[in-house]
Chains A and B, each alone.
Chain A
């Protein structure tokens, strides 16, 4: 900074959110909707809820997070439902637990819509400005200072600085200080966090070049259209609002080839990834193209998806071609690819390095352990992805909001939501690379489905004051309809008549000898709810397809669901065993050295969390549980 603004006392707020990406937007909306006077500070109002990387929302695990956000009263689901250009359900051939909705977004419309939603929120103020430091006294955060000299007081503060934190963009030999998409970086705030004693790490991510859609030979690629069947992310969006597939935009599939790989290999000496220029740790699941060529040398081609960035732009995103090779080489690479021979590059791909707050320093409310009333969320906590950021932003915003209102903490367990899995992973295990949610990270995948996110979380959203009574009543009636139909099917019988047995014979299934309960009949793998309705009377009123879906899943997968729920019930008892915050691990004899160090560093809040820390063995847990019980008894007897 060349010179600083003269300090002045600005207005006080209940909650201040720093950064207006996907985490910041959710945090600010949640805090404001709970009744807090909320200030959202952003470096650039043009970057509110901006998608600097791929123009899509959802997919496996991530799509479920969007539904969870919606059920808890967040905004991402509404916002994408208003601005998508293509909708697709993935994994339809697999079980219900892993089906995943994904939308291609109009990234400009998405930004505008979110910005406008926030502008209309009565308790929320948007302001452009750069936060340079935090106001902290006695380990308690009470506001922020901006470059213009403004001192804002607040009851709680949420930081969501994303890749702007000491961001550095790298394109071949070119390297400069920058936030995402050439926005202004946030440098002083990072330095302030270090001064306050935070342990920061350096991560790296990247984005592919964008090309002019008018110069793509689409006929040389394969079309990937959207779905005919309507689906949305939000519980509130009716099927009637679904965009006809004719009016959706398609994506297009093409591949790299040996020639592409040749170009990359010949220029590896100019690749910052391999020349030692890049220090940050990049994600394994989102490697750059040069990384793919080196690590998977035997593969003759890699998939590339061409994705539209919006309706009112001709920029196309080349998914799969993330790179930090020099601009000149990027052009050669593009031109070597089928369909892109004549493509005009509009923006080069780049790598970006940035600071993250090592997430072991956070509680599962996303409040920092070091400084009270200070929360961090999103990419700043070491994650990657808009959905992961939004999920954390919502939780941080809820907790910052509740703190400002003098209410207790709100957390999600691993068995409640993918958001719970993610936060527990982050604060318990930390992460060595940008963290992405995958369905395999969830041990209760079958319980954490996208179709039941509303059933899992809407009541919590309502209790938090983020789901209004009208939406809640609608949800309750859906729930009641599911229960009623399940009960009905458990009392109505399918009779063994010729019609049923002909149908069964046609489906290679054993005929019925005696009548069976409709519920049991539906458990046969080849029988759908619609099939069943041929053989019994329908419900009094026709059911919504989402109710039918729940009834089918509940019955068909009952055995697996029950097993998972038994495991969860056991785990809940361990989750209930709280570890006192002031515990001194040095004072507990008998803990193994590694276990003791890990426990002291992570400071788990429950025995269950402690048992998930790698390096803490069962004997450590046994000793810890006896020690805690000893303390509890001692207190009672005093």
Chain B
């Protein structure tokens, strides 16, 4: 049926090393490079700008209108480019999250994830580099393919493959039925597949793909880290805690309340749990305008956090502000840290315990390291415990998989709009088949013969 045409489609990849550098570049090459970039770019009309220009704007998720990142986009039109095809380079803000998200959007809007060495291969095939480099290109494809195949295999978790295969089997049953209706119109043992039945199936499969995509959020934790917000009123030791976890001085730490002016994001590995640490400016009512911005952002960070570390200064009695913070974080997964145990304790523990309820509480002194091991153990337990207890263990984490799932979901949308437009079953079925093929690309199972096998094993056909 369908065959993947890989030679002339538009490819995308992150072309800077992951997780390093202040700026990351996502590169697109191919005939559709410009059109694909335009779908997710807000700013100047890229189709009207001169070639070899850099253009300021934003990457937007067109489905939600959400702004993903502030970017500079280089437009380089064929033939004077590295690959001799149209090339677009999106310069974004370096972080793993934003860069992955941008790549994801491109993959969901028409681009395919580049194979290893593919930009170089195209450069060669289009005559950009000379013969002496051909061997090197092939070595590159060879070497990177071996490696990426291993990686790809590891990335395709057995349970995910199983789920995708179930989805494909369900679509295949429908396709086989449509095919039997077409190729054996007089065969009366099989129900006629109507667009109504097809619509039901498309909705069902789309809902299941949406479920899978929602686990992409959970999978995100593994890939991007557990978003962890450190909150507490000023000068309770938040930045010291952050620095301790980071083992280096990145946040500005002083004894003057309110010196942490911005949200700082850092990644740390705590006993195998990737934490994306968000140190927040002290959340307290402030008249300082500069700091006010920081406070607003802290509240946002809090809302988006997977884990909240609430720091309380044990050497001072609980203030109203502490009580407010305990209340505002009550719905989050949190650990309450009673800090500064090296100083004389003023907090009424029974009072505090009542306020915190069943949530974990740990006494520490960041200064003397007391209690820090217990804290790290607690974080690891919370995380791994959560994973074990969660209902679905299947997670979609791979950018390519997410892109394909999104495309399959769009194909199912096309099925539905075709049905709404009154198209006959055999035309609507084209998009259904496309969804099936796209899912097959995840598991590597896009083989047409499957359909025929299904046809002849399920139905008793003959002349």
Please tell me which stretch of B86-94, B238-246, B379-387, B423-431 contacts chain A, meaning at least 4 of its Cβ atoms lie within 8 angstroms of it.
B423-431
- Contact segment of B1-9, B61-69, B157-165, B261-269: B1-9
Contact of A60 among B7, B149, B185, B452 (CB under 8 A): B185
Partner of B183, one of A295, A440, A619, A630: A440
Nearest B residue (CB) for A567: B5
Q: A292 touching B141 by the CB < 8 A rule?
A: no
Q: Verify if B73 is at the interface (C-beta below 8 Å from A).
A: no
- Known contacts: A438-B183, A525-B421, A630-B131. The answer to whether A573 contacts B427 by CB under 8 A is no
Q: Write the nearest CB–CB distance from B203 to chain A, whole angstroms.
A: 20
B448 in contact (CB, < 8 A): yes
A574 and B131 form a contact (CB under 8 A): no
Number of A-B contacts (CB under 8 A): 159
CB-nearest residue of chain B to A320:
B462
- Which stretch, A35-43, A148-156, A441-449, touches the partner chain B? A441-449
B183 touches A60 (CB 8 A): yes
Contact of A95 among B137, B186, B424 (CB under 8 A): B424
Q: Are B125 and A590 in contact (CB under 8 A)?
A: no
Taking a contact as CB atoms under 8 Å apart, the answer to whether A626 and B183 are in contact is no
**CB nearest neighbor in A for B149:** A619
A473 touches B (CB below 8 Å): no
Chain A residues whose C-beta falls within 8 Å of the C-beta of B426 in the assembled complex? 94-95, 97-98, 445
0 or 1 for each of A168-209: is its CB under 8 Å from B? (1 = yes): 000000000000000000000000000000000000000000
Q: How far is the CB of A307 from chain B (nearest CB, A)?
A: 10
- CB proximity to B under 8 Å, residues A601-638: 607, 611-612, 614, 618-619, 621-623, 625-627, 629-630, 633-634, 637
Which residue from chain A places its CB closest to the CB of B430 in the assembled complex? Answer: A560
Decide if A132 is an interface residue (CB 8 Å cutoff): no
Q: How far is the CB of A298 from chain B (nearest CB, A)?
A: 10
Asked whether any CB of chain A lies closer than 8 Å to the CB of B189, the reply is: yes
Q: Chain A's nearest CB lies how many Å from the CB of B205?
A: 20
How many residues of chain A have a CB within 8 Å of chain B?
A: 62
Residue of A nearest to B31 (CB): A570
Q: Is A94's CB under 8 angstroms from B461's CB?
A: no
Q: How far is the CA of A61 from the CA of B427 in the complex (A)?
A: 16
Cross-interface CB contact of B142 among A320, A590, A612, A618, cutoff 8 Å: A590
Q: In chain A between 43 and 73, which residues have their CB closer than 8 angstroms to a CB of chain B?
A: 54, 60-61
A contact residues around B418 at 8 Å (CB):
560
In B333-365, the 8 Å CB interface with A consists of none
Whether the pair B138, A590 counts as a contact (CB closer than 8 A) is yes
- Chain B interface size band reads 35 or more
For window 241-278 of A, CB contacts with B under 8 Å fall at none
Question: A626 and B182: CB pair below 8 A?
Answer: no
Contact for B124 among A60, A95, A589, A629, CB less than 8 A: A629
Measured between beta carbons, the chain B residues less than 8 angstroms from A525 are 421-423
CB-nearest residue of chain B to A437: B183
Q: Are B183 and A61 in contact (CB under 8 A)?
A: yes
CB-defined interface of A519-534 with B at 8 Å, one 1/0 digit per residue?
A: 0000001100000000
In Å, the complex CA distance between A629 and B121 comes to 11
The interface residues of chain A lying within 8 Å CB-to-CB of B188 are 303
A284-B452, A292-B462, A439-B183 known; 8 new pairs, CB 8 Å cut-off, are: A60-B184, A94-B424, A438-B179, A590-B139, A619-B142, A622-B118, A626-B138, A634-B131
A sample of 8 cross-chain residue pairs with beta-carbon separation below 8 angstroms, ordered by A number, consists of A440-B448, A560-B418, A590-B138, A590-B141, A611-B4, A612-B3, A614-B447, A626-B138
Chain A contact residues, CB within 8 Å of chain B: 54, 60-61, 90-91, 94-95, 97-98, 100, 284-287, 292, 295-296, 299, 302-303, 305, 319-320, 322, 438-441, 443, 445-446, 525-526, 557, 560, 563-564, 567, 570-571, 573-574, 577, 589-590, 607, 611-612, 614, 618-619, 621-623, 625-627, 629-630, 633-634, 637
